[in-house]
Every structure is written in structure tokens, then in C-alpha cells.
Structure 1
Amino acid sequence: MTALIAGFAARAFTPSELLEACLDRISRLNPAINALTAFATERAVAEAAHASRRWQQGTPLGPLDGIPIGVKDLQDAEGLPTTHGSPRFRFGAAKSDLPMVARLRHAGAIVLAKTNVPEFGAGANTLNPVWGATGNPFDPRLTAGGSSGGSAAALAADLVPLCTGSDTGGSLRVPAALCGVVGFRPSADLIAHPTRPMGWSAISVLGPMARNMEDMLLMLRACAGGNIDDPLSCSTAAERVTKLPDMPLQSLRLGVSEDFGGLPLDPAIRETFRARVAVIAPHVAECRPIDLNLGEMDSAFDILRAESFLAAFDDAHREAPEAFGPHVTANLNLGRTMTLTDRGWAHAEQTRILRRFNARMAGLDAVLLPTAPVSPFPWTQSHVSEIDGQKMDIYYRWLALTYRGSLMGGPSIALPAGRGPQGLPFGLQLLGPVCGDARLLAAARAVEALLEQDSETARPRPDPARLVPPPVDLRAIVTHPPSTGHTIGHDNLGTAV
């Protein structure tokens, strides 16, 4: 994307020409993957024309002037519907932008379309009864992940240069890994999230998605900032990422955890992760195993997620339970069995987990992990039910590699790292300490530069020739996916597992 900005500045092409190219590619490829849903084409054309004139006059509006973007369909963008993938919210248009979206527009970005999500953001498989399913650009029969699956797929297929996302238990990182792009979960104070129903809980955050680190950093700097309705956000936090510290690859001290304290992984994923660590280790100052068995992480997350789910949906569900799918109902029923004692224990355990993590991070810049324990699976499959012989007790348990990292409240990022099993994208995850966004991003940029030097580890690109509409119309999938066990997710009609 930095090349696009340079092209505008050099008058090699205009924002209008870029938008036309995006629309042409969308018309050809989006039917195959169904990543983008509602469009604001007429407004985008007008805004691109204005941006073209500004660039011709040498007066761009901001660092993203003329760049088309996609906005996740859990987030308000003026004039476009925010459906949450639910028939309950199918009609109507947002009257204003979410602050993150408003900041991107202020920087000159053009909101072209909404990106697809699971219903109410519940789950890591993008499928809902309003817009249908999103297929993976590397094989449309497979999942793009979720809940920011439409954003990740749109980026991987080069439909738009930037997309927004959100993350409770991995919604930025998992789809980024499965589609071969970058997804950054920031510390909770960095990007204001004023629609979070539990304003003092840091479990859900908003974040940027892009195809590479430089594009992601440009977007992050444009949308970072505080908001009075988000008590965890801080207006000065954006200054942390204005300029990253100088961290050459050879200076990095990295911890390594294959399985975040004993989680099951597909053996081929474990082998791929070890191979990537073997590539990185000779080039850094330190690369050593770290024990991430930090406490009762799964139980704590279960309760923290359930309380946010109840805060978002309980009243509406009691008024009209028929308006919600079985996943939402199952999650609410589970949450209603929990007590204040459970809640108190979970928050205390989360604090203990954070402090143990901080102690083990001493002397390290970041921790390397896999992002997803399996390769992309068919989108017709609701979720992963078994990994390396171990059955998952709840539908989202397969996401533990990412949701355990959410508990510490610090930044984490998924970087594309070549291909794994079956030639599908593989993503590395890097974790950092609370408010350590700048150091983590600097470390990720250095690691990305190394990985990009070899075609085996560089960001993979899908073959556009394979993106032909599948026999099943992805947009025509209007039934709820089959459910096994409990289905839980989401933050507020805004962020999801």
C-alpha cells in the first residue's frame, strides 16, 4: 500500500483508477469467496474523485487519502448496514461511524464495503444467515477463519488494501493466519472501543488488518486514539506507535512455545512451526523455550467470555429468543449458570496469569507461537472438534492458542510465514507484554523482513485463476451451521471470539 501512496504522489495513477481496479477485481473474484458484502460504490466513486483532485494539487487529506478499505460487519460505517450477520439487523444503515472508522476516513480512507462475519461474530468460521459463507482465497471450499474472516479473505485476494477487524479470542489473528495476511491485536488502550458493553473489560479489542507490516502500521497510526466512552482507551497511547524503536533482527531475544502450555496441535502444524523457528533462531540474539503454563487459562476465559456475552445479548434474547440462532442461545444458557463467585475468581485468575506472564517475559522482546493448531478446514464444518486425538469440549476450544494470549491484555500479532500442510497458509504468532505494542511491532517487522527473503517462508499469494464461483452459491447459505456443544463468542454486537 505504501507503493500506492507513492504512486498517487508521483501522479503515476489516481485514487479513481485504483478504485476502478479494485471494483473490477471484486466483480471477478468476490463471487468465489464472498468476502465483501454491502457496498457503498457510488459514494466511494465520488470520494475517489475528490481524492484524485487533492493529489493532483499536492494537498492530500491524510496518509490514507484515496485508499479503499473494508469495514468488518460488526462495526458501524455511516450509510452502510451493520448486520452482525443476523436477520434481526439486516435492514437499515448506520447513521455515524465507529470512532476507529471515523479516524480512518479522516486520514482519507474510502470505505468501499463491509466484510463478512459469523452471526454476531460468534466463532472462527465466517458463515451467517444474512450474507452466507466466506471461502478461503487459497481454496474457496475451506474456511477463511473468523470472526474477521471476510476482512482476511478480502486482503488475501487483493480486493482492497486494508480492512478493519476485532478480537476477543483470536478474531484478528486466526483468519489472518489461515489466509496469509497480518492481523494485529493491540493493547486495550491503543484503539478506542466505545461500543464494548463492559467498558472496564479488556478482553475485546479493535484492530487493523493488512497484507504486510508497513501497511498495517500506516493503518494503525491512523486509527489509534482514545474516546471518552471507552474508559480503557488513552488519547496519548497512539504516541507509542508513532515511531517504533530500532530493533535489528540480531538484537532480538525471543521466547518460544510450541503449544502455549500443553495444547494439542496437528503434528504437521507443529512440524511447520519448528521449521520456522529453525529459520529465525540463527539470526537473533536469543531464542529459547518459555513455559507458558500460566494457570487455569481455559476456565478463566470461559467465564470472562460468558459475562461479556450476557452483557451484550441477555436482555434482547429474553425479549425475542426466536430472533437468535442456536449458537447464541446455547452460550446464553451456559452463561446464566455462572455465579458472582465464578466471575470474581475469573478476574482474579486473569490477574495472576498476567503477573506470571510478566515474570516469564523478563529479558525477552516477544514470544513466538503458532497461531492456529490446524490448517483451514471445510467451511461446512462448524468448528474443529478434535486435534491430534484430543476432543474439544467447547466449540471454541481449538482457538486456545490465541484466546490464552488475550487474557494478558497485551499486544499480539499474526504474521504470514509461508505455507504449511497441504500448501495452505501458515501464520506465526508473536506475543508481547501489556502496553509493549511498539517493541512487539518492531520485533514483528524484523521477523517479517527475514521471512520475506525466502519464498518458502514469505507471505503466500493465492492463485486468482482458481477463484471461480464454486458449485454452491456462498451467498445463498442461509441456514445456521450445525452446532456441537456450546457456541460462544462476541463482545457487544462489536467484537468476537
Structure 2
Amino acid sequence: MSSDNLTSASASELMRLMGLGEVSPIELLASCIERIERLNPAVNAVTATCYERARAEAREAEHRLRRGDNVGPLHGLPIGIKDLQETQGLLTTYGSPRFRDHVPSADHPLVASLRRAGAIVVGKTNVPEMGAGANTRNPVWGATGNPFNPMLNAGGSSGGSAVALALDMLPLCTGSDTGGSLRIPAALCGIVGFRPSPNLVPHATRPLGWSSISLLGPMARNVDDLCLLLRAMIGYDSRDPLSTSNDSAPFGTFDPPQLRSLRVGYTEDFGVCAVDNDIRKVFRERMAAIAPLFGECRPLDFDLGEADQCFDVVRAESFVAAFHDDYRRNPELLAPSVKANYELGASMSLADRAWAHAEQTRIFRSFQRTLADVDVVLAPVTPVTPFSWQQAYAERIDGIPLATYYRWLALTYVVTLANNPALSMPCGLDHAGMPFGMQVIGQFRGDAQLLQAARAIEQAFESLQATRRPKPDLARLSEPTPELKSIVTSPPGSDDGHSATSASVPV
């Protein structure tokens, strides 16, 4: 199997081939590294790398397979880790100059669990500074370009992971999601990202342990691979008060339901979200094409009240919890967006916060009533086609100014408020020839049922030209894109490119 054929194979197929001895973990890792080094200069998705350690781990993985040892569910599989998640011995910057030389002494609990499952960490994937915003760019590593056009936005904050997957640099990557940070980059790059229910994947380092606004989740190129990674993420952790599950069995190999048995609801805007008219048209065209496949498919009317204002408060509260000590020590060390969000939260009263939590409860209950008679809900993921990465955020939709820099994330953050599991999956191209993402939302804590339905929908999408997963044109990526690094002030780490504390891309 050629190097490109190897990296384009699904993670599930690679696990099967390695189990049979037809593919070596050493060979697979070498193919991933070669592809990263060839394509990453055009998109700037992978940041710090640990190639030598990964090679040593691949050799050990190969020895264990030859000995017939019992191995984990991700044994020998290369993986990328979002640069908001600490990696022992490997530079973790959070996209912030404050952490330009930060090499953690321990793994984030999620990373530790993936290593125990046998995954081989190859490197970190790019993020916005401190994860704030849905445009992956920062002063340490620069910007990440969209794999379909490197001068356009790849989404965020899990943008580096999404691009690495879309270009087959790595078979699996991690992500996280507050207002859409898994779903938005998945949509803009043509891959799959999943925000699970709050109890499923433990988040042991979350400052507000009782808040479900920020969650960890998997990213992959298809639903089966997503489930493969999700199973290794699931587990009980006593440090997370929302953690209740350690049963990954429902997310194993399953037969998807017949499409004719699915009751599907859909909405263009949840009744409260601004959506570009061109995106509305694309969504209507997609629904017209796929509606006949389902047993039932009908529009839904949502009553989400003051969802925007509610998210403003809940989100700002999380910034206060995360950055209180840093702000007290020296507010000028914080990124401007982080500082502004902290100050917004600090200016709010107890009454504001009580109102927001009561309003979120009302939104949750209204959302569940609306979904009572359907299995899944379909909606757009983003209200606009990808825009230039040099534009920090979508300032207007259909000519109407947006109130805040994150208001263009409303299609995903209203689902965050409801706490229902949701994923983004590829659904062809939009009016501008860029990937169009379909948001698939399940019943409250109905993650397994949602993923079963998503697998059936994915198979249907692949059977239709208009909804098939798009693939990037590698000819457009034949040259480096130096503009992506134009906001970098100086490179982190050494210039080795292969040590455990250095950048894989010269900047």
C-alpha cells in the first residue's frame, strides 16, 4: 500500500490491518510524518511535534503486536492533540505567548487515557489564542488555513485538528467544544466532529466542574472512526462532578437504523439565529434532496427565548472562573479577547447569573419538548461560507451587523445551552464551492442513538453526488502559504522540528 493510500485509509481499517499484520505501526507513522511535512506548510495545522518519541512508541507497538500481547483499542494509531490539552514532554502553548516555552510534566487526563488505549501522539494541532473564537490563529504559531483554500478560515477552536484530518495527515484528532469549537471547524473542513452529552467524556480540569458549557470530544473523517476514538475517551473520573459513565459498549460496532424508520425534524435557524440567505438556500436544497429518504421529515418550531443573552452570561462566567487569578496578577498579560471576556463577566451581578442559569433551564426544557416526537434534528452548522482568516470573525450576516464577535456561532451555541449531543458531518459543497456541514442533534443523553442515526445518514449522503463528503484539491496545496504565519512574532522552541519541545513548522 502506498504512503498516500495508507494515510487516506480510515482509522478503523488501519486498526484492522495492523491487527492482521498487514500494516506496521512503524510504516503508518512514517507515512503520516511524510504527509505532514509535505502538506502542513500550506495550511499550518500541526504545530509542535514529537517524532522521535513517536517512532520509539511505534517500534514498541510493533513488537507487542508480533508477541501477540493484549493491546488497547487504539494500539499503534497516530493521533493529533489539540493545543489546549497538555502533553507531557511536548510543547503546549494554548496559542499564547505566555506559554511559548511551556513543556508540561504530565499529560492532560484525556491524553493520558488515549495513550493507555495505545494511541501514539505525533504532535499538537493549532488553536486560537487560549481557545477564544472560531478562527484558528494566534501570535505563537500563526493562522491555520482551510484545506480547500488556505487563505480562508478553517474554523475554531479545533481548527488545526479539522485540517489535519481533512488532509489525511493523521487518522484521528482530539477537540473540545464550548460554543461550537468541534462542530464549526468540522463543517468548514469537511470532516466529522462530535459534542457529546456532558456525562460521557470526563473533563477533569474544567474550572467550573458543575458547568457543562465546555466539553471534550472526538474528531474524525467518518462516523465509525469517530466512535472508535469516542470509546477510548469514555470513562468515569471522580475529578469531574458531571462524569457518570464508564460504559463504552453502546458505541461499538452497530447496525445503523433503516432511514425509513427515522423521524427527522429540521430547522434553518432555531427561530433566533442569523443565517445568510445563500446558506439557507443550500440547506433547503439539501433537505429537499434527502427528506424523501426518511420515514418522517418535518420542520420544527423552537422557542429559545433569550438564548443569545443567556449564552453571553454563561460564557462570560466561564472566563471569570478560568482567568481570575491571571487577571488579578497582571491583566495585560491576557489576550485582548480573553481580557475583554473576563471583564464582561466580572461586571455582571449575581442577579445576572441567576437569571442566565434559570433561562438556560427554561431553554433546556423547551428544547426537549420540541424534540419529543423526533429521533434527530437537522440544521446548518454555520451561517456563512468560510471567510478570510485575516478577518477575525463574521461581522455581518446579510448586511446586518452582529452584536459580538462570537454571535456568528449561534447555530451551535444554542444547542450547547440545551445540552443535547450534536455532531457536524459533511454534506457536499455550499454555494461558494466550500464544504457545507450538517448539524445532527439527538435526544438528551441519546448519544448512541444519535451516532447510529448519523451513520445511516452518512451512508445516504455518500450515495448522492450533492451530499457526498468533499475532498480537498491537493494541487492547491503544492506551495507553502507564508501569509499564514504573518502574525507570528518569533518561533517557539528550537528549530529542530523533531524534538519533544520544538515546532514542526519553521515560523
Pair in the same fold by TM > 0.5: yes
The Cα of 1:332 is off from its aligned counterpart by 1.7
SS of the equivalent of 1:264 reads coil
Which residue number in structure 1 is paired with residue 329 of structure 2?
319
Amino acid at match of 2:215: V
1:244 Cα deviation (Å)? 5.2
- Range that drifts further, 465-474 or 191-200: 465-474
The CA deviation at 1:389 is 2.3
Q: Which residue of 1 aligns with 2:309?
A: 299
What SS does the corresponding residue of 2:133 show, helix, strand or coil? coil
The aligned counterpart of 1:209 is 219
Out of 1, 5, 19, the position equivalent to 2:29 is 19
Answer with 456-465 or 404-413: which moved more: 456-465
Q: Deviations over 1:274-309 (max 9, x none)?
A: 122122211111111111232111111000000001
Which of 176, 181, 189 lines up with 1:179 in the alignment?
Answer: 189
CA distance in 1, matches of 2:108, 2:250: 22
Offset at residue 141 of structure 1 (A)? 0.4
d(CA) in 2 for partners of 1:381, 1:60: 50
Whole-Å separation in 2 of the counterparts to 1:10 and 1:240? 25
- Give secondary structure in 2 for the equivalent of 1:423: coil
Partner of 2:346: 336
Q: Work out whether residues 190 and 238 of structure 1, in 8 Å CA contact, stay in contact via their aligned partners in 2.
A: no
Of 261, 274, 280, 1:264 maps to: 274
Deviation track 1:187-232 (CA, whole Å, cap 9, x = no partner) reads 0100000111000001110000000001000000111112111000
Structure 1 counterpart of 2:487: 477
Aligned partner of 1:192 in structure 2 is: 202
The corresponding residue for 1:405 is 415
Q: How does 1:247-286 map to 2 (within 5 A)?
A: 247-286=257-296
Aligned to 2:54: 44
Contact 1:375 1:420 in 2 (8 A): yes
Q: Could you give the per-residue CA deviations for residues 25-66 of structure 1, whole angstroms, max 9, x where no partner exists?
A: 111100111100010111100111111222233335212111
Bigger drift between 332-341 and 168-177 goes to 332-341
Give the match for residue 140 of structure 1: 150
| Alpha-carbon distance in structure 2 between the residues aligned to 1:327 and 1:158 | 32
Judge conservation of contact 2:43–2:481 (CA < 8 Å) in 1.
no
Pair 1:218–1:170, CA change in 2 (3 A): same
1:130 aligns with 2:144: no
Q: Which runs of 5+ in 2 are unaligned?
A: 1-10, 491-507
CA shift for structure 1 position 17: 0.5
Counterpart in 1 of 2:244? 234
What secondary structure is seen at the aligned counterpart in 1 of 2:418?
coil
1:446 to 450, 456, 463: 456
Say whether the 8 Å CA contact 1:128–1:479 is kept in structure 2: no
Matched with 2:444 is: 434
Question: Does the C-alpha gap of structure 1 residues 233 and 239 become closer, same or farther in structure 2, counting only changes over 3 Å?
Answer: farther
- Give the whole-Å Cα distance in 2 for the aligned partners of 1:235 and 1:81: 31
Rounded Cα–Cα distance in structure 1 between residues aligned with 2:191 and 2:337: 28
Q: Return the offset for 1:247.
A: 2.1
Cα RMSD of the aligned pairs, angstroms, is: 1.6
- Bigger CA drift: 37-46 or 312-321? 312-321
Aligned in 2, Cα 1:214/1:245: closer, same or farther, shift over 3 Å? Answer: closer
Alpha-carbon offset, residue 479 of structure 1:
6.5
Q: How does 1:351-390 map to 2 (within 5 A)?
A: 351-390=361-400
2:482 matches 1:461: no
The Cα shift of 1:476 comes to: 4.2
What amino acid is aligned across from residue 220 of structure 1 in structure 2?
L
One-letter amino acid of the counterpart of residue 73, structure 2: P
Q: Which amino acid aligns with 2:228?
A: L
Quick one: percent identity of the two aligned structures? 56
Q: Which residue of 2 aligns with 1:152?
A: 162
The answer to whether the Cα contact below 8 Å between 1:245 and 1:439 also exists between their aligned partners in 2 is no
In 2, are the aligned partners of 1:131 and 1:476 still within 8 Å (CA)?
Answer: no
Whichever residue aligns with residue 82 of structure 2, its letter is: K
Q: What secondary structure is seen at the aligned counterpart in 1 of 2:482?
A: coil
Q: Does the CA contact (< 8 Å) of 2:187 and 2:437 recur in 1?
A: yes
- C-alpha contact 2:140 2:489 (8 A) present in aligned 1: no
Aligned partner letter, 2:245: S
- For 1:157, the aligned partner's letter is L
Moved more, 255-264 or 25-34: 255-264
The TM-score, its normalising length taken from structure 1, stands at: 0.94
Q: Does the 8 Å contact 2:84/2:93 carry over to 1? A: yes
| TM-superposition CA deviations, 1:150-189 (whole Å, max 9, x none) | 0001100111000000000000000000000000000010
| Distance in 2 between residues matched to 1:210 and 1:220, nearest whole Å | 10
- How many residues matched? 480
8 Å contact kept, 2:326–2:334: no
CA contact (8 A) 2:42 2:481 kept: no
Deviation track 1:365-400 (CA, whole Å, cap 9, x = no partner) reads 111000001111100000000011221000000000
Amino acid of the structure 2 residue aligned with 1:333: E
TM-score, structure 2 length as denominator?
0.92
Q: Which residue of 2 aligns with 1:495?
A: none
Alpha-carbon distance in 1 for matches of 2:272, 2:342? 29
Q: State how far apart, in whole Å, the 2-side matches of 1:227 and 1:375 are.
A: 39
For the 8 Å contact 1:37–1:131, the answer to whether it is kept is yes
